[in-house]
């Protein structure tokens, strides 16, 4: 029997078979969780649907996380289908490509609003709808962050600020929901070759730097992150909430 046997979860953020969200979804499924999936738009549906169906998912739902009515519809459907919810994965981030170039100083007002809305506020919006379905269950909410939330990473710019807001939100949400037994945590993963990473200029240089600098002398794998996500979703981490867990081969501890 898997560590997540009988638990019900919903996945936000699968982009393709190489995305972190997909690696976590597979790991949760292998440990016994039944999952629902969401997608944003027809292009992503073509990628997400066959992946979700390969895990036997019965609920594959459209959701633009900037539209409250779509979020409401997703949780109404999942709540009725599952009769409650144990797991939620938030693996969503976005910033305009032009705001990831040059200096942070040049970030536009609209670019700042968009990055914070999609990358940080969306966790609040999803958690607010999930919480009533999670009360009285061994519930766990997980989001994805990055070291750029607390250190300056060249060309990460407004996304770093959005991730800082995301990590602060994890702490405040953990405090709000702790009395209800709902845990909220983040994984701060090292750089991994994903669709989202392709938008960061100089990403290959980042991979090389981490590989040569991190204590483990290697980059982070999707499997590394997925195994930590199983831990944070399971009873093994029953006393852990409000944490940012680093899965980056130890890179974040290094100075020079």
Indicate the fold that domain 8-246 takes in CATH.
Answer: Rossmann fold (3.40.50)
- Model pTM score: 0.95
Position 247 scores a pLDDT of 98
Please tell me whether residue 245 adopts helix, strand or coil conformation: strand
Over residues 28-58, the pLDDT tens digits come to: 999 999 999 999 999 999 999 999 999 999 9
Distance of CA 247 to the CA centre of its chain: 13
| 3-state percent breakdown (helix, strand, coil) of the chain, nearest 5 | 50, 15, 35
Please tell me whether residue 188 adopts helix, strand or coil conformation: strand
Q: Considering the chain, what is the average pLDDT of its residues?
A: 95
pLDDT band at 195 (very low <50, low <70, confident <90, very high): low
Over residues 209-237, the pLDDT tens digits come to: 999 999 999 999 999 999 999 999 999 99
Over residues 93-144, the pLDDT tens digits come to: 999 999 988 899 999 999 999 999 999 999 999 999 999 999 999 999 999 9
> Is 104 assigned a catalytic role?
no
| Residue 193 predicted with pLDDT over 80 | no
| Residue 199 predicted with pLDDT over 60 | no
User: Residue 88: beta bridge partners?
Assistant: 10, 141
Position 194 scores a pLDDT of 72
pLDDT band at 1 (very low <50, low <70, confident <90, very high): confident
Position 210 scores a pLDDT of 92
Enter the tokens of residue 71.
């979020």
Catalytic one of 156, 231, 246, 251:
156
Position 176 scores a pLDDT of 98
> Is 146 assigned a catalytic role?
yes
Could you tell me what percent of the chain has a pLDDT over 90?
89
Position 190 scores a pLDDT of 93
Q: CA 255 to CA 247: how far, in whole Å? A: 17
Catalytic one of 39, 104, 121, 146:
146
Position 197 scores a pLDDT of 64
Position 200 scores a pLDDT of 63
The mean pLDDT of 249-256, rounded to a whole number, is: 92
Q: Which residues contact 9 (CB under 8 A, 6 or more apart)?
A: 28, 33, 34, 35, 36, 85, 86, 87, 88, 89, 233
Q: Are 36 and 9 in contact (CB under 8 A)?
A: yes
Position 201 scores a pLDDT of 65
Enter the tokens of residue 172.
């405040």
The mean pLDDT of 61-88, rounded to a whole number, is: 98
Ranges of each domain in the chain: 8-246
């Amino acid at each position: 029997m898997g560590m997540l046997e009988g638990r019900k979860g919903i996945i936000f953020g699968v982009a393709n078979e190489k995305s972190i969200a997909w690696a976590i979804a597979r790991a949760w499924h292998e440990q016994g969780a039944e999952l629902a999936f969401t997608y944003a738009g027809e292009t992503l549906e073509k990628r997400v649907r066959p992946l979700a169906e390969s895990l036997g998912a019965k609920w594959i739902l459209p959701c633009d996380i900037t539209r409250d009515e779509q979020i409401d519809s997703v949780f109404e459907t999942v709540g009725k289908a599952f009769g409650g919810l144990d797991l939620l994965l938030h693996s969503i981030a976005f910033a305009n490509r032009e705001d990831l170039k040059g200096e942070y100083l040049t970030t536009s007002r609209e670019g700042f609003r968009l990055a914070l809305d999609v990358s940080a506020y969306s966790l609040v919006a999803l958690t607010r709808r999930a919480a009533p379905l999670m009360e009285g269950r061994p519930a766990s909410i997980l989001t994805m962050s990055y070291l750029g939330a607390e250190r300056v990473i060249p060309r990460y710019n407004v996304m770093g600020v959005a991730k800082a807001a995301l990590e602060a939100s994890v702490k405040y949400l953990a405090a709000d929901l702790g009395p209800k037994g709902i845990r909220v945590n983040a994984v701060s993963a090292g750089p991994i070759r994903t669709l989202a990473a392709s938008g960061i200029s100089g990403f290959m240089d980042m991979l090389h730097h981490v590989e040569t600098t991190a204590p483990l002398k290697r980059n982070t794998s999707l499997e590394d992150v997925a195994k930590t996500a199983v831990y944070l979703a399971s009873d093994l981490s029953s006393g852990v909430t409000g944490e940012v867990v680093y899965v980056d081969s130890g890179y974040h501890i290094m100075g020079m």
